[in-house]
Structure 1
Amino acid sequence: MPWRFFINTIFVLFLLISISSVSFAAETTLPSGYMKVTAFAVEGNKHVATEDILSAVPFRIGSMITPNDVQESLKSIYALGYFSDVKAKTKPFEDGVELIFEVTENPILEGILIQGNSVIPTDKILSIMNMPTGKIFNYNEMDKALKRVEDYYASQGYTAARIMDASLSPSGYLLVTIAEGKIQAIKILGNHRTVEHVIRRELTVKPGDIFNYNKVKADINKLYDMNIFSDVGVMFEPGTKPGEIFLDIDVKEKKTGSVTFGAGYSTAYSAIGMISLSDNNMFGRAQTMSIGLQFGAKQSYYSISFYDPNFNDHNMSFAANLYNYRTYGLLIGGYTTDEKTAGFNVSFGFPIFDKYTRQTITPGYERVHLSTTGTVNPNDQYDRPNGSYRSLTYTLSRDTRDQTRDPRQGYFASASISQTNGFLGGSSLYSFEKVIAEFRDYIPLDKSKEHVFAGRLMGGTSIVPSGKIMPVYYQYYVGGQGTVRGITDNKYYGRYFAIGNFEYRFPFIRGTRGALFTDIGDAWGGNSDWPNFKLHAGVGMGIMLNTPFGPVRIDGAYSSNHFKGYFGMGNPF
């Protein structure tokens, strides 16, 4: 039928046209997976310029790209930080495609809200972030701003502080949540003999505090200064509550009981032998008990001492010392003298004002007997009495040093006044007062605090009422270790003294520290008046070794064409 013929004809024509079209497309299609970019477009941007967006695209018009290339371009545009979402689509254009990027811009930053901070004020945090409002929000700028905040926290010692969250609301407000590193609990590890309470009482950081590395480091130095630990480690780990931490203090105890035998030589006392028994951690409470015996051709000495740095857990120090010593052929006040001295003293120390400042009260009693070879000048006879003396000393000190064993920064200042006899009783003829002031300063010369300038200024005067006498053995002596190295021990004496010690301390051979030093000073006013003051000096070099018995210091000093050597425990100041 005619209508069937017509339908078949139409079907054939449609088939031919379809085949013809497929054939044409096959001739113009690029290699599989590729397409040619003939145009770019951006949609959805209001505040970010189109050219700024397209500058992030890693290819240009005419490039042959794959879907992976498109994905990379989306990442590059998103990395600009201005958008919450970026998409792409294509449509035919000329002999390729037009690549269209659809962006969703972040809102305008209307304000910043800070929560979780307590040690750093909000105003300070906002100034550090430096993200002005009224501009389109940028995630990259936010990341940099938050990094500056964490860096600032770390610079102030709050190394556990972290940005917990930063979220931008659709209305344009940025909420920043800070976890400053609150200490949930402190765990003491590694102590076997030492009572845990003894360790905890030395810590200034407590549960509930914000972790601060500087404060914890100061506490570590205090634990080292107890001289009962060979190592103190600090770690922190996440607590059971969000943003809080556990602070772990791991101590390694060292042997604190010792029996020591030794020998030495001094230009003043010749050969000497030494025996000492001591324990720096009696009953695990950081109390020190020591018994010492020293003997030689020109000297014998014994002492019994006790020290409790925190007597009865009331932050009061207590010390007691009983001693007896004899010297033979000692040069005192220009005469060869045998001296016998026995006595005792006790000290009570209390904090005042703050943790750095203390006052100490020390009553004491001493009995002295001198036996002088040869005839004593009548003018000097009354300066050399035998008798008993009662004393009371008050000392006010301030100590900000980072440690006492080998200070790297901080200072120590003290002033003391002591009364001997007078209103305390005893001989009314031999009555006097002594006033001593001392200042030590430690200045780090590099960030590591390995190179340090250490200086000490020290001086004293005596107040002797009219008609009273100050015995020669209670006057000040300068010369030798502890005053001016390089000159003869106790060479200069008198009612007044002044010394200055200056050292440059530095790393030496591995495990040791070296020192270059200059000492100056004098003591005067013994049997003469003020004009006899004359400055004496010595220069030298020292080295400090770490030994199982503690740091040992060996010095060599030169003065007035003479060289002298010294041996002692730790730095001289």
Structure 2
Amino acid sequence: MTSLAFSLLVTTAWMIPAAQVSAQQYQFNTVNIEGNQRIGDSAILSQAGIARGQAVSAGQLNDAYQRLNNSGLFESVAISPQGGTLKITVVELPTINRISFEGNKRIKDDALGAVIGSMSRRVFNPATAEKDANAIAEAYSNDGRIAARVQPKVIKRNQNRVDLVFEIFEGDNVEIERLSFVGNRKYSDRRLRRVLGTKQAGIFRSLVRRDTFVEDRIEFDKQVLRDFYFSRGYVDMRVNSVNAQLTEERDGYFVGFNVQEGQQFKFGQVSVTSEMPNVDGDAYAALIKVKPGVVYSPSLVEADIARLERQALRDGVDFMRVEPRVTRNDRDLSLDVEFVLSRGQRIFVERIDIEGNTTTLDRVVRRQFDSVEGDPFNPREIRQAAERIRALGYFENAEVNAREGSTPEEVVIDVDVVEKPTGSLNFGASFSSSDGPGVAISFAEQNFLGRGQTVNMNVSTASEARRYGFRFFEPSFLGRDVGFGLELDYTEANSSYSTYDSESLKFQPSLSFPVSENGRLQLRYTAERNEVIAQDANDDGTAFEGAAITADIDAGALFSSSVGYEYSYDTRRTGLDPNAGVLFRFSQDFVGVGGDQKYIRSVAKVIGEKKFFNEELTLRATLEGGAIAWQSGANRAIDRFILTPSQLRGFEPGGIGPRDTGATENDTLGGNMYLVGRLEAEFPLGLPEEYGIKGGLFYDVGNLWDLSDVNLNGATVDGESGSFRHVVGVSLYWDTPMGPLQFNLSDAIKKETYDREQKFEVTLKTQF
């Protein structure tokens, strides 16, 4: 208040004489500047705009005063003419010695320093400090702490310096106590809450950061909700409003989405019409995948458009554009789609400009584009490239826009990204029903050296197994859509579920590439060194192992060399039904490219999933099997199939299959063939959604058999011909911040007397 009064006094004192001598002209031969310490006389005179010997009017003197006063360099300014001398007196604003934050725990100093405008060794500006305090408060508001208060304080130092301190009162976190929906009839509140990025506060509220109210996130959730309905045929769906109310205690929000679902539409007639000469529409119609009666989805239309445009490029037809013309039939709730082939504008891509990538190399972003400089411009391809860039996981934000280039026939594509950390170093404890408790250390980097490569190193030292692994993956080998992988693993196993130890070293490079829209092929080479090692003897000096395992131990360390392939077909993301998907894998390894053994190992697996009752009930079926065709070399237990609880629940690892019943511990021998089927149902239990707990039922059936070409060494073996075991059970699925856990309680309703059951199991939930 004192500073304001002083400023008004100075202005009034100057303006009154100026009014009296408005016609008077001044000419100063001398200019005296006082009070400046850091800013030189010439800089002040230049800012004022007055030169020695220059004739100036009273109005020009007033303008000089205003320029100095508004420069942001001075706390106060006074100008007084004294005959042929102009006297300028200034009081400089102090410089900022250092900036500190006090009271902040939720947001670190580095993050707060990024949102403020004040900087050390710059001139202190009170107005800027106030803006900084508001920016810090807004950062806390976005973090869910709307009661946060920030007070800037100044501590004076010598030499006209100050310390700027932001005193922060963070306040309590204002969580979302309840997420509700009004107007939804097809899908329950529980199902819609799973779609949103915003979550209700739950039992892990101290770890989950998405249960706070953030307006930008709510806007994003509105779009996600619309996309969810659109992809399921509800083309009239609208989010009418979102109401957010604070509780009386101001410590929580009640957020309600008011939606209008509308009716579900399906595809009606689907046709292709060509408006281009020499382009046969009927030939392109054969490429359309969507059929009448399928639930309408914009993503299916986009997929067919992309398919038609790719074919046009293969046919040498440039600038062909596919326009979907949709006709609405309210009587039968169908949408007729006519794909019109027309010639688009002759516009080319002039260049692609990428900004904001300080670590990520330009080529990592560029390879997400199907177009390069000089190619015809396709807006749909640019949109898809933007989605691929965001899906990389390297950036907090990625914006892709097109603007006119140097000519109207060219466009420049601007890519603006904001990078985020992509590496992690994890230390933790682990527990496995097969390996026991242990510690785990892992390092992972998804964007190694900014090249888009994945590097993973892990060390796991459980009580019954030690694993050391290294994995590397290059998704664009030699600049093409070819993935190059490299795995190196060393394992020492000392499991209580077997009567022998084992040691394994594996080296495996691989190449993978797409062979169809949903199919991918991997080619690999594998070199392994495996050894079966005897455990300590019993107290009476007899060996743990039976005759068959003794033969495996006597074989010593064996080296195997193989080439193989794996074909996978996945419709989970590109299928016609968003609530169903199929994953199929088939692999073969031909062992015997050198080494001590020769055989062919074949494995097949198919998984199908379907959601029912408005996506509340999930049914999943799995069928997998394998066969080994042995040719030469020692056929040991560690070379054959041994079933684990992840394949057949209700039994220990190696709990079923051929067994040396003459041995002290009934050694598990594995088998050359296996077949397993699993049926699972997953459903809500009626508990609050924020608990993340679901229930499940399962039925497993499986068999492991065949010991052809095995040196049994005179052992007494049961189960060589095999028999199918049947298991039923219940599951509890729990989504925790540490990962999805699955608890299985099972009962083997059909088994053999020598089998080893495991009725209870805790494991990570298998993701389909």
Q: Tell me if structure 2 keeps the 8 A contact 1:287–1:309.
A: yes
- CA-to-partner distance for each residue in 1:99-131, whole Å, 9 max, x for gaps? xxxxxxxxxxxxxx9858999949999xxxxxx
Mapped pair 1:277 → 2:443: yes
Look up the equivalent residue of 1:491 and give its one-letter code.
G
Q: Tell me if structure 2 keeps the 8 A contact 1:199–1:223.
A: no
1:417-496 to 2 correspondences below 5 Å: 417-420=588-591, 422=592, 424-427=593-596, 430-443=597-610, 453-465=619-631, 468-481=633-646, 483-492=647-656, 493-496=670-673
Mapped pair 1:566 → 2:753: no
1:23-62 to 2 correspondences below 5 Å: none
Q: 1:499 aligns with which of 664, 676, 699?
A: 676
Look up the equivalent residue of 2:655 and give its one-letter code.
K
Distance 1:542 1:535 in 2: 23
Change in Cα spacing, 1:534 to 1:217, as seen in structure 2 (3 Å) is: farther
Name 2:583's counterpart in structure 1: 412
- CA-to-partner distance for each residue in 1:27-77, whole Å, 9 max, x for gaps? xxxxxxxxxxxxxxxxxxxxxxxxxxxxxxxxxxxxxxxxxxxxxxxxxxx
1:100-249 to 2 correspondences below 5 Å: 121=281, 156-157=301-302, 161=323, 191-203=357-369, 208=376, 220=387, 224=391, 226=392, 228=394
Name 1:292's counterpart in structure 2: 458
Distance 2:524 2:422 in 1: 28
Deviation at 1:216, TM superposition (A): 6.0
Distance 1:122 1:496 in 2: 49
Mapped pair 1:347 → 2:510: yes
Name 1:556's counterpart in structure 2: 743
Deviation at 1:410, TM superposition (A): 4.3
| SS of corresponding position for 1:494 | coil
| SS of corresponding position for 2:622 | strand
| SS of corresponding position for 1:312 | helix
Deviation at 1:387, TM superposition (A): 1.0
Q: 1:376 aligns with which of 525, 545, 549?
A: 545
Q: 2:530 aligns with which of 367, 384, 395?
A: 367
Q: Tell me if structure 1 keeps the 8 A contact 2:488–2:506.
A: yes
| SS of corresponding position for 2:634 | coil
Change in Cα spacing, 1:236 to 1:276, as seen in structure 2 (3 Å) is: same
Distance 1:500 1:450 in 2: 23
- CA-to-partner distance for each residue in 1:161-219, whole Å, 9 max, x for gaps? 588xxxxxxxxxxxx99787999657767654333422342455776475559x96698
- CA-to-partner distance for each residue in 1:128-178, whole Å, 9 max, x for gaps? xxxxxxxxxxxxxxxxxxxxxxx9999722699588xxxxxxxxxxxx997
Distance 1:511 1:402 in 2: 27
Mapped pair 1:516 → 2:708: no
Deviation at 1:381, TM superposition (A): 2.6
Deviation at 1:267, TM superposition (A): 2.4
Name 1:386's counterpart in structure 2: 556
Name 2:426's counterpart in structure 1: 260
Q: Tell me if structure 2 keeps the 8 A contact 1:264–1:273.
A: yes
Look up the equivalent residue of 2:511 and give its one-letter code.
F
Look up the equivalent residue of 2:431 and give its one-letter code.
Y
Deviation at 1:523, TM superposition (A): 2.3
Distance 2:613 2:551 in 1: 54
Deviation at 1:454, TM superposition (A): 4.1
Deviation at 1:359, TM superposition (A): 3.4
Change in Cα spacing, 1:510 to 1:230, as seen in structure 2 (3 Å) is: farther
Q: Tell me if structure 2 keeps the 8 A contact 1:263–1:273.
A: yes
| SS of corresponding position for 1:560 | strand
Look up the equivalent residue of 1:415 and give its one-letter code.
F
Distance 1:199 1:444 in 2: 36
Look up the equivalent residue of 2:721 and give its one-letter code.
P
Identical aligned residues as a percent: 18
Deviation at 1:361, TM superposition (A): 2.0
Distance 2:620 2:384 in 1: 21
- CA-to-partner distance for each residue in 1:242-273, whole Å, 9 max, x for gaps? 99999887766542211101112222222111
Q: Tell me if structure 1 keeps the 8 A contact 2:274–2:342.
A: yes
5+ residue gaps, structure 2: 1-272, 286-295, 307-321, 326-339, 537-542, 657-669, 708-716, 749-757
| SS of corresponding position for 1:490 | coil
Name 2:568's counterpart in structure 1: 398
Name 1:525's counterpart in structure 2: 706
Distance 2:347 2:762 in 1: 47
Look up the equivalent residue of 1:312 and give its one-letter code.
L
Query: TM-score, normalised on structure 1?
Result: 0.57
Distance 1:349 1:314 in 2: 11
Change in Cα spacing, 1:152 to 1:500, as seen in structure 2 (3 Å) is: closer
Look up the equivalent residue of 1:359 and give its one-letter code.
Q
Cα RMSD of the aligned pairs, angstroms, is 4.8
| SS of corresponding position for 1:532 | coil
Distance 1:212 1:231 in 2: 20
Q: Tell me if structure 2 keeps the 8 A contact 1:410–1:441.
A: yes
Name 1:309's counterpart in structure 2: 475
- Larger gyration radius, structure 1 or structure 2: 1
Name 1:534's counterpart in structure 2: 724
Deviation at 1:461, TM superposition (A): 0.7
Query: TM-score, normalised on structure 2?
Result: 0.44
5+ residue gaps, structure 1: 1-112, 126-150, 164-175
Q: Tell me if structure 2 keeps the 8 A contact 1:181–1:210.
A: no
Q: Tell me if structure 2 keeps the 8 A contact 1:556–1:563.
A: no
Name 2:489's counterpart in structure 1: 323
Look up the equivalent residue of 1:325 and give its one-letter code.
T
Deviation at 1:497, TM superposition (A): 1.4
Deviation at 1:473, TM superposition (A): 1.0
| SS of corresponding position for 2:442 | strand
| SS of corresponding position for 2:479 | coil
Q: Tell me if structure 2 keeps the 8 A contact 1:359–1:395.
A: yes
Look up the equivalent residue of 2:634 and give its one-letter code.
I
Change in Cα spacing, 1:123 to 1:371, as seen in structure 2 (3 Å) is: closer
- CA-to-partner distance for each residue in 1:279-302, whole Å, 9 max, x for gaps? 111011221222211113222221
| SS of corresponding position for 1:156 | helix
Q: Tell me if structure 1 keeps the 8 A contact 2:386–2:398.
A: no
Deviation at 1:515, TM superposition (A): 7.1
Name 2:160's counterpart in structure 1: none
Distance 1:533 1:486 in 2: 15
Name 1:337's counterpart in structure 2: 500
- CA-to-partner distance for each residue in 1:276-327, whole Å, 9 max, x for gaps? 1121110112212222111132222212222212222233322222222222
Distance 2:697 2:366 in 1: 38
Distance 1:409 1:524 in 2: 33
